[in-house]
Amino acid sequence: MTVSYNLIVSNVGLLTWLKLFFRWRGSIWKSVWAELAMWFALYYAILLMYHLGLSDGQQKHFDQFATYINTNIERLPIIFMLGFFVTLVVNRWQKIYENLGWIEDTALLMSCLIHGDDEETILARRAIVRYVCVGQLMVFRDISLRVRRRFPSLESLVEAGYLEKSELREIEQVPMKYNKYWLPFNWALCIIYEQRLREKIPGDPSLQSCVQEVKRFRDFMQTLSNYDWVPVPLAYPQVVFFAFLNIYFPLTTSLQFVFYIGWMKVAESLLNPLGEDDDDFETNYLLDKNISTAMAIVDSTSQKHPPLIRDRFYHHKYLPGLKDDEEDIVGSVAHLKMPNDEPRLSISSIRQSIRSLRKRIQPEAVDDSEISHKI
């Protein structure tokens, strides 16, 4: 479940950071406590061995070895590698979040452009958004462990109401060994085209809008599949994690340990945001919300709206009853008073300058009578 802490940091206060610092779920403490306990155990084991098991000469050699290791470990570009790795993972996490797929735009467009309140049209709108949700669910089953646990097989989609048995048979009868994520979207597009033939969609531009919306949602699912199919190259996480194996030994302070390992754990938890960690995405919630919202949009609220009236904002002088006391957002020089002098450059002055320049360039016309008189 996604851990939300926005309410805690909504106001800046003296103890705000303490409330955030000591949260457990999704925190750095929950991520590193096992490694930190191991670090302390090894540290005190070596400390006891140093004081109780080594002679003075052995302690001297151990000090030299520890100094050598502590000096040379700084040559490892740990900060650079970790910073680059975390940046890569955060960008990947953001792209996955942006492509999760929310159904409102699709359902609203179908409700707006597919006209009619007869039984067949209502069923068509419902089938379109349901098939879009089925396509999303089929993708999530293969990339999210939470969804896979909830829907272990395609038969479970029938039990949940996403699919009918006849629709499941059609999916199973498609003769291909690869994934069939595209099939529900294909059904949705076929229904959209049928509604255009029935003139329930008014015009080809509206048909194009419906088709593009379904395609856009399918592109989201394709992007999620691509990110799951091609993860971060394995060599890079291995290099970063191997570089941090040295930190398990008492070469730095425990505070440095928490910072470094915690930083690495952040990247590790974001590598697959569709898993079962505290901060992973709520994919099951999104599936439930999309199917419920889509049906409400295209069914009970389709082609319906309150009567058109003059609202309170019809008169531009009306202000909200609960007006905020904050200052309006205006430009930084919006209230600056300028002198009343004429501007140095205006359209009329520029035209006058051009006319005078032309007169200077063109040669003056000479009267013919004056020329004959001179001859």
Could you read off the pLDDT of 9-25 as tens digits, one per residue? 445 455 555 565 566 66
pLDDT exceeds cutoff 90 at 144: no
The contacts found for 140-146 with CB under 8 angstroms, 24 or more apart, are 140/224, 140/274, 140/283, 140/287, 142/179, 142/225, 142/228, 143/224, 143/225, 143/228, 143/274, 144/274, 144/275, 144/281, 144/283, 145/274, 145/275, 145/276, 146/274, 146/275, 146/276, 146/280, 146/283, 146/284
- pLDDT bin (cut points 50, 70, 90) of residue 42 is confident
Over range 105-125, report the average pLDDT. Answer: 92
The Cα 375–Cα 356 span in angstroms is 33
pLDDT exceeds cutoff 50 at 53: yes
Query: Is 271:53 a contact under the CB 8 Å cutoff?
Result: no
Over range 323-334, report the average pLDDT. Answer: 57
pLDDT exceeds cutoff 80 at 67: no
Share the mean pLDDT of the chain. 73
Q: What is the pLDDT of residue 309?
A: 46
Q: What is the pLDDT of residue 137?
A: 92
The Cα 369–Cα 326 span in angstroms is 80
Over range 240-252, report the average pLDDT. Answer: 50
Over range 326-336, report the average pLDDT. Answer: 61
Over range 99-125, report the average pLDDT. Answer: 92
pLDDT exceeds cutoff 90 at 206: yes
What is this structure's pTM?
A: 0.59
The Cα 181–Cα 194 span in angstroms is 22
Over range 272-279, report the average pLDDT. Answer: 63
Q: What is the pLDDT of residue 256?
A: 57
Amino acid (1-letter code) at residue 228: D
Longest Cα separation, the chain: 130
